[in-house]
Structure 1
Amino acid sequence: MLDRTLNNGMRVLIAPWRASPVVSVQVWVKVGAADEEPNEAGLAHLHEHMLFKGTERRGVAGIAHEIEAAGGEINAYTSLDHTVYHATLASRDTEVALDVLADAVFGSIFDPDELAREIQVVVEELLRGRDSPGRFVGEMLFKEVFREHPYGRPVIGTRETIEAFDRQAILRFFRKWYVPNNSFLVVAGDVDPDDVWPDIQRHFGSLVARPIERPARPTEPPQTSPRTVVGRRAIQESHVMLGWKGPSLDHPDTPAVDVLSVVLGAGESSRLYRALKRRRELVTDSFAYAHTPKDPGLIGAGIVVQGADVSEACLHLMEECLRLREAAPRADEIEKAKTIIAAERVYQKETVDGWARRIGHLVATMGNIDFEETYYAAVRGVTPADVCRVAEVYLSNHGVCLAALLPEDPAIRLDPGAVLSTALRSGRPPRGRAGVVRDIQLASLSNGVRVIVQADRTLPRVSIRSAAVGGLLSEPSHRAGVSHLAAQLVTRGTAAYSAEQISEICDGLAAGLGAVSGRSSFGLSADFLSEHWETGIELFSSCLLEPTFPAEEVERERRMVMEEFVARADSPSTVAFDLFAEALHGPHPYARPTVGHEESVSALRREDIAEAYWRQLDPERLVISVVGDVDVDRTFERLERDVGALRRTIEPFQLPDQTAPSEASVRRERTMKREQAHIVMGGPGVSLSDPRRHALEILATVLGGQSGTLFVELRDKRSLAYAVSALHLDGLHPGAFAAYIATRPDRVEEAEQAILHELREAPDRLDESQVARAKRFLIGQSRDQPAARDGSCVGDGVDGSLWARL
């Protein structure tokens, strides 16, 4: 294969293929629906249509006519990540295709009358697509899975955006993206690279390059709870799809995820077909797939159901998907899946179109075609345990989305929430397999530091957390904010590393390193790949045990904290929560924000910061947890060597007295010129060691979620607010339970009365389903999210009673 680049930046790949005297010529433009702004939704697709509507050299019908006259065909398609224009014809007419495509792709005139007509054509295409229930439910699913990332928008756009386009919008899009340095050419078939290269230079080499500014696509935030969407149409069958966020094509998990999808839903021997169609006869069709594009994609599974048994079929669909988390597929299932994937590669190369498309996809997505060999080698190496592992990682309880399109017949019912709850309750939650995730191991170092280690080889990562009793509880009022400032500085210089060296090491290892000071504790965290174990733990230990608090870094961080005070004062919600804390906790340290106050922070000296840090780093109050791909014994030995040498060098701080909550109601107000009033209402909470804290956490979840009582009653029914929530703050000393709402100033009294009413009525309104749903959500958050799991180990160890229970 010839891989060259023209002087204007356009890459050219020529792949000889002598099986028949045919050639495929394809121009790939690296812009797709995911590169559009929201008001441009569908513009890449409309642009594809317009490139066949005439150039300076060819009329409206001339482009297709010229290719067809040579016995070929021409077409185009738009995807999320790219747009492709392709022609296939006899190899003797290769230059015809090169000439026509260069003219059409880069020389279209975008006639206004043709644009008006083509917009109507696209609208008709849109309406036709909506009449396809399979396509429509797929768009419903993508919209739920990708709420922020543009993958959630349909490629074709919406009727509103399509009909709003004009010639200027088309031209702006064309001039922004359609340049040779944002495109590449693939020629595959019965050609000699040396013979065709001059023709390519003649037709594409004179195109003028322009700088490309590619805005970063929005990042999809983590999904914290199941999502469902149900629609109804005048159709005969029910279409149901499940989806989870999946990896991108370049992710090392992709080969195993592809094998998983084939095991689950490819062919009549797949798990879904055998269980749902052949054995139970619940569905007319079943399928599964892994969509692994340029950015993180989607793992999907779906069914088509006739009759009223939609809930039962949907429940079995969910159970079959989750079953792969618990039991690895049989070896013969894995081998069959590998054969199917390998065969697809062969089948793609049966035609010059398929071969050219494969080359183009690899180049557009990965930048090179060498990835193909790496990918198929990885597929060949996939084991049953690998499939089980990726099922645990991706098919999570909290990450599932369910989309259903049902007939209008009211006898056909589906409660998606109930289906998911039943499936998630009946199946065991994802957990480590034997030999992959070990039990938690506890030990104390020779100096009294408590250590928690859990080997989890699901992923090649290591997380280390330390926590010591401290934070606000360690601060006298005249040094408020000293712990927060210390937390910013422990990673800004040690006896072994400068601040710049620490940053360079972290960047070079793709590691995370940071410290935080909270209400009751002070902690340091490090996250890195297990292959960097030695460097990672050495850097963590250096920051923990030998921070130097350089004077220049102290002043730099102090300036940043001062800037933070300005931002906090400008945030009405922050002001409201600060006023609430002052009113509730009075003289107790919990009344102060963790960042302190301007007067105290401006007066802090370097010596004050160092003293505050070492008063908190008492071995008897320090807990370290290590979770990840580690050897347990080796970890204990290394921590004994490094951290076991820590000695108390200064008298630790004394915990402040607990203050009794006031029995009188307290109200604090501050006037700010804002569009909304921010209200926090609540009262005393409980401490970490109080068993009632779990009940309060459940109550806050019941009240505060998007399906919670406060949300439904105050936002959905009464339109009092956009933002409303409930929260429970605990600590080593009793914390707070509160509700928050932002509403219009003229509705403050109404909002206050509504919150009070809901809080008073909550105990009597709670039902078992709400409590069970909140429990599953909280347990799922703790179990399924690595950060929560890593942090829970160290958090449970800070308090002595929790350590004993652990």
Structure 2
Amino acid sequence: MKKILSRLSVIGAVILSNFTFGQKAEAPQFIGNIEGVKEYSLTNGMKILLIPDGSQSNMIVNIVYKVGSKDEGYGEKGMAHLLEHMLFKSTKNLGDIKKQLSDKGGAANGTTYYDRTNYFEIFPSNDENLKWAINMEADRMINATILQSDLDKEFSVVRNEFEIGENQPSGVLMDKVFSTAYMWHNYGNSTIGSKEDIERVKANTLRKFYEKYYQPDNAVLLIGGKFDENNALKYVTEYFANLPKPTRELGGTYTVEPPQDGEKTIVLNRAGESKLVAAAYHTAAYADKDYAALAALSEILSANPSGYLYKNLVETQKVSNIWAYSPEVRDPGMMYFNFDVPKDKDLNVTENLVKTELDKIATNNYTQEDLTRAKSKLLKQIADRKNNTIDYTISLTEIIGAGNYKLGFLYRDHVEKLTLADIKNVAQKYFKSNNRTIGLFLPTANEMRVKPSEFLPSQIASITSGYKGKDLEKEATPFEATIANLKKNLSEGLLLNGMKYGLINKEVKGEKIMATFKLPFGNEKDLAGKNSIANLTAELLKAGTKTKTKEQIQDKLDQLKSSIDTRINGQNLFITIETYKNSYEEVMDVLKDLLSNSTFPQNELTKTVAEYTTTLEGQLKDPQALAQNELQRLAMPYPKESIFYKASLQEEIDDAKKVTREQILNFYTNILGANNGVGTVLGNLDPKIAKTSLENTFGKWNAKSNYTVINPTYFETKKMDKNFLTPDKENAMALGTASFRMDQKSADYPSFLLANEILGSGGFLSARLPMRLREKEGISYGVGSFINIPVSNDVASWGFYALFNPLKRDAVDSAIKDEVSKALKDGFTAEEVATNKKSYSNFQKTMLGMDQTLINLVNKKLQYGISLDEYDAINAKIENLKVEEINTALRKYLTLDHLTSVYAGDFNKK
């Protein structure tokens, strides 16, 4: 989470509030409709974007302020992010924002980056939620309280978030590279800021920042999903239109980063196992036409398996992985490359190999095939983003920060029009060694320095003014997010081999199709000791077939704007597909080829093992990874041959290195199959076409190994606290669990579920554990509880987690156990129960508005025979629970006498 800061003085708030009552509230003025994005403006300078989508059952309200970390001054680093935290506290008129968000049971968050800050809320679609969200954002805009007492507690939470980031080598390295590359521009400063500035900033300083930037003329309000447009505009008029336009002029930032005049190098020494090489080049602003060409070049260079850098560095095993990143920013930005280096490689040698390949970027002989492949992938990403309205409404945040929401359409248009000459131009223009981070001054003759184009506000206004966009797409048919409507639009069937399937007739924006298949396999004997083999088999299913190379498979999927993802978890192969109506049959043909003809090339296995083990090596001293691994090993001590055995991180590394191609082929040929599987397809598909395609893909793919469910063993957890030291790590992780017997059919299941909501997982950071550790004491950035109550067996567990500064280890341990003890001794109150019933109910409605929830419910019905009506039945039971039932269930199943806890961090730190 990235954050923001600002506030209005108490006197100023009163004056402003009184002043607004006298203003005439003028309705928003319609500006235009670009491809379903309807733009309005208010006389106070505020912009409104409406993105209606009747196929959704949720709505989102997202407000974007054009202020981020680049606007911070001396001594203010991290202030924007800190203020973002503070604006979840309270407002003058509405009071406790976080509690009200919790009560409504929606999903909410705030983020900060270089150029912008945003706050969003996702709720089930209804007029009450729409009105409340708009009212709240208007009140938060000018009436946030920002009390010093709140700041005193919150700064340590933000510091803990800073420390979490400090544990990630790749993130820390990127921050250091950016700060080295930028001499003057604030893009060189990490958004999360300086720990010292975070700790020292005062509330009155935040207020000044808030008063300056949190104003209607610096904000864009976005409303997306299913909502009444007339009511939305009415509420905008009521709550925002009467806010006065400030008399101050923002002026904007005017710092221009000078051309870099020599290669720079930064060396970062930190504890850990990861080895990394990174490189960054000054490139273009998002508004620049070059940005599209650079995005395509990034794909051409780094894509797996076709990228030039990928082929020359990953395939040759000089590095284990590569990724590239270019932020969508207002001013000239960067293209950043990260290279993961295997533990056994010499870092200095690898650095020179990487630089040798980077030096070829300007002179590579790029082909039309390279460009076509990159364009397909980029256009697929653009289409996927635009056709998920909730995500699209959030994603526009970055583009608005970059200057104007229309830039997103222009970027797409630029991608569509790209030529090979554009690619070669940016390759030669930006990818010079003197424009790259690595601190020697080297005099040379006739130096050609790189100076990216600056874009003034007038230029952005010029290139976006009058932009019309493409023809409007057909609106998707509304779909009511209820179990009754799901049942009405669900058809089920059986393939010839016994696989069960469900078809959900639901139009999705852009005629998108989504599917998830769950294919159980194997038995205890056949799967003994094969966990690493299974995981690598799933990873390599797209590595090549008898008819297509890995590159051809990926190219085909990109051309179809589609994706196929595979993973194995326990005894199940999961396959997820995202595609479009006109591509569905072709994508299923690709999947059939993967399931029937995969060849698992040795070179791909070698690369995948290197990438996998390099990632694990980076986790050996990571507190979060170590805590999760060790807790599972302590709480569930299965024998090594069991499918449920949790290997140590080093064991996982060693086991992966031993896997052979022959073992994978044997697993693929003899163990996997679809004859015991279930799958659900969601979208507006002809049922005959859907069934025929499913039969063609899965109907003859049968496992040779007999399938028998392997049930977990019940292990009673013991009272135990164990420390694991991770030297020089800024953040620590606490994780605990207690086992008990229960399944989802248990009469106590609804009571225990709600008990856990109240204790640690419910609401928007308002349950007891987050309220104690984060809100009251400020000793943990992230804390909560969770439960695992299975469907088909009774091996259940409750658990907690907390992220914290290692110095707070004892305080965190004491606070968590104290809160659990209080709950067990005194029970929950009637008020807590009522509040959490409401927030839980609202959250379930929100979840029902998500397509993946519908798919998962149908798959659950197909596999376990659990009626869809059970979703409503559980919610009804929770609604009717009495306080004593909840308290009784908590005491019956949870006890600190069987709580196994692990703490991972640098506890020797002073």
Normalised by the size of structure 1, how large is the TM-score? 0.50
Larger Rg: 1
Higher relative contact order (CA 8 A, sep 6+): 2
Normalised by the size of structure 2, how large is the TM-score? 0.45
